[in-house]
Amino acid sequence: LNWDYGKIITPHLPVLRAAKRIVDEKGETFGFIIINMDMRYVFKQLQSDLLNDVSMMMTNERGDYLLHPEPSKTFGFDLNQPYLIQDEFPGITRQFNEIKNPHWSGFLNQDQPKKNWLAASLHKIYFDSSKPERFLGLLLTMPRAEILESFSPVHQQIFGVLLLLLLVAVSIGLFYSRSLIRPLMQIIEAIDSYGKGNTRSIHVANAPADETGVLLHAFQHMVFQVEKRNNELRFSEARNRAVLEAAADSILTIDEMGVIQSANTATQDLFGYEENELVGQRIETLMPSPHREMHDSYLAKYRTPSINTENSGESVLGRIREISGLRKDGTIFPIELSVSRTWINQTQLFTGIIRDVTERKEAEAHLIAKNIELEQKNKEAEQFTYSVSHDLKSPLVSCTGLLNILWEDLEDGDMDGVRKALKRIDSNVDRMYKNVSNLLEFCKVGRIAHEPQWVDMNQILTASLEELELPISQQKASIEIQPDLPRIYADPNRMNELFVNLLSNALKYGCDEQSECKIKIGAKHIDDELVFYVRDYGQGIEPAYHEKIFTLFQRLDIKRSGSGVGLAIVRRIMEIHNGRVWVESNLGQGATFWLAFPLKTQTHSSAENQDQQQNESHGG
């Protein structure tokens, strides 16, 4: 009987249903083709050609009645009241169950005791010769009493006619049944061929002009339309795949449970996985903490219709977010993520476009650092300008005042006053000249005089001490130098200038007249830096002035000779060598000046120098 939506349709309609599962190129279910044929026409044609005394019954392969003279026994298995031919005719059970026995004729007894004998003929109509277990059973019966009566001389001729008619009826029934089953078998074979991917062999041959022929032609047209649509889908899929594979950004798709459905080549390159390692895995595989632990609960909001995440302000759809990704090797890197959603057959799919922003983040950090450095340089420039303008302006202001005094002395005829004024003016001009000269000397430091090279610091210090031989002798200073000082990659002229200034400062301010003048020079490795130091045991420097002494024209003791430029030049030289300088001191405890050179620069320069030497030797 015809079923729809899990219920038997009333009034009852006998149907023959053929169904086939359709799969795509990947073996995944694409859909189902189901064909229903109204069997009332078949039953009516078969019954119309029977004699009055002949009964016809039709069963399925299990023996359930599909057609019976008593309508209550028809399709009893669908109505929870099964009636089997084996129960009504026990004598036919063996012949019915023999799969390879398509025909049988004989006598059957319907009731006990054996008195109601029937002449019977059983025919099996197979759906597929390769599957003999699938068939329809057709049983024709006639009371034996009717046949015996025909044995009388009067009725012998009639019996012969009846027997002939019985055979004719059976033949007609078989013809009609086969003529109706054959088109259905063509459809079933076509469905099976289509399910195996053979669409070229699907065609209608000798289709009848009735409803089954129309059904065959409709099926052929449907197959052609489906194949046309499949070709369009394959082309569209190939085109989309080509676009995805050509994309520089990572593109992947997940379902609403967070399982990866597809990933392009850029995704594999970005995260370090092969495609078969990604597809079927959860998206959390590509996320570090805390995103990994939070993501499943976040997806759950999209699976819950009562929560409108898209309008709650928490949605990532249509927005660009910056989060972190996790590579296969465990490295975490910054990414930019945008997500879109697609509905397919009531199922959500989420497509994410991921971009590695490591270089951009590094550039931003570098830019921020440069901006900070620029701001610091601007502040230093402002301070430098103020200091220079003050030190240069001071002698001019003094000269202006002295000129006014000079004019007054001239008007009064005070020549002694004139000479004193001119002498003071000359002193201020000389001071201004020295300031300008020192300023020019300081500005020269910004330019590397020579290309950097590997410098023997022992030789540099020997040259510096020779240059300072006179003040060392005057101070009776004792200079202690650590033996075998390490080499550095630097400008040798600037290194000589640097140590001359540091030693001059130590000789001026680090030598107390009350005690022996002693200066120590050494070097050591501290963390990732090569550090040199110059230590004196003089009066020391208060912490409040530790930074100020490196400013241009700054002098803590104006009674002692000096320009206030030496330590400023030391800092400038260290800056152009990517190093740093600082002082550690307390009042009355001497001072230690530290010079730190980054080891990274020294190591890199050493490798480049070795490569250059090797290339030169190979070239020679």
349-399 pLDDT, tens digit per residue, is 888 899 999 999 999 999 998 898 888 877 766 766 666 665 667 677 778
- Residue 473 has what pLDDT? 86
Q: Is the pTM of this model over 0.75?
A: no
At CA 509, angle to CA 504 and CA 511, rounded to 5?
Answer: 95
Structure tokens at 6: 């899990």
- Domain endpoint, select from 397, 414, 444: 444
| Helix, coil or strand: residue 289 | coil
Assign 3-state DSSP to the chain and report helix, strand, coil percentages, each to 5.
Answer: 50, 25, 30
| Residue 613 located in a structural domain | no
Please indicate, yes or no, if residue 287 is contained in any of the structural domains.
yes
Distance CA(221)–CA(194), nearest Å, equals: 13
Domain count, the chain: 4
Rounded to whole angstroms, how far apart are CA atoms 474 and 222?
A: 113
Q: How many alpha carbons fall within 13 Å on the CB side of residue 555?
A: 15
Q: b/e string for 416-436 if b means 16 or more Cβ within 10 A?
A: eebeebeebbeebeebbeebe
Domain closes at, from 328, 356, 384: 356
Contact between residue 581 and residue 550 where contact means Cβ atoms under 8 Å apart: yes
Q: Indicate if 45 and 124 belong to the same structural domain.
A: yes
Whether 41 and 186 map to the same domain: the answer is yes
Tokens standing for 581?
A: 């300088």
408 with 555, same domain: the answer is no
> Is residue 141 one of the residues assigned to a domain?
yes
For residue range 207-238, list pLDDT tens digits in order.
Answer: 666 666 676 677 777 777 877 887 888 887 77
584 in the same domain as 486: yes
Answer yes or no: do 123 and 54 share one domain: yes
pLDDT bucket at 192, cuts 50 / 70 / 90: low
Distance of CA 81 to the CA centre of its chain: 60
- Answer yes or no: do 31 and 165 share one domain: yes
CATH number of 106's domain: 3.30.450.20
Cα→Cα distances 193→3, 43, 130, 204, 233, Å = 26, 29, 15, 13, 21
Select from 444, 476, 499 the last residue of a domain: 444
CA–CA separation, 244 and 580 (whole Å): 51
Mean pLDDT of 45-54: 74
On whether both 586 and 461 belong to a single domain, the answer is yes
Tens of pLDDT, residue by residue over 133-166, are 888 888 888 887 776 665 555 455 656 666 666 6
User: What pLDDT does 620 receive?
Assistant: 41
Average pLDDT of every residue of the chain? 78
Q: Which residue has the higher pLDDT, 176 or 37?
A: 37
Is residue 314 located within the same domain as residue 431? no
Indicate whether 19 and 108 sit together in one domain. Answer: yes
- Indicate whether 342 and 425 sit together in one domain: no
Residue 175 has pLDDT above 70, yes or no: no
Domain housing 514? 453-606
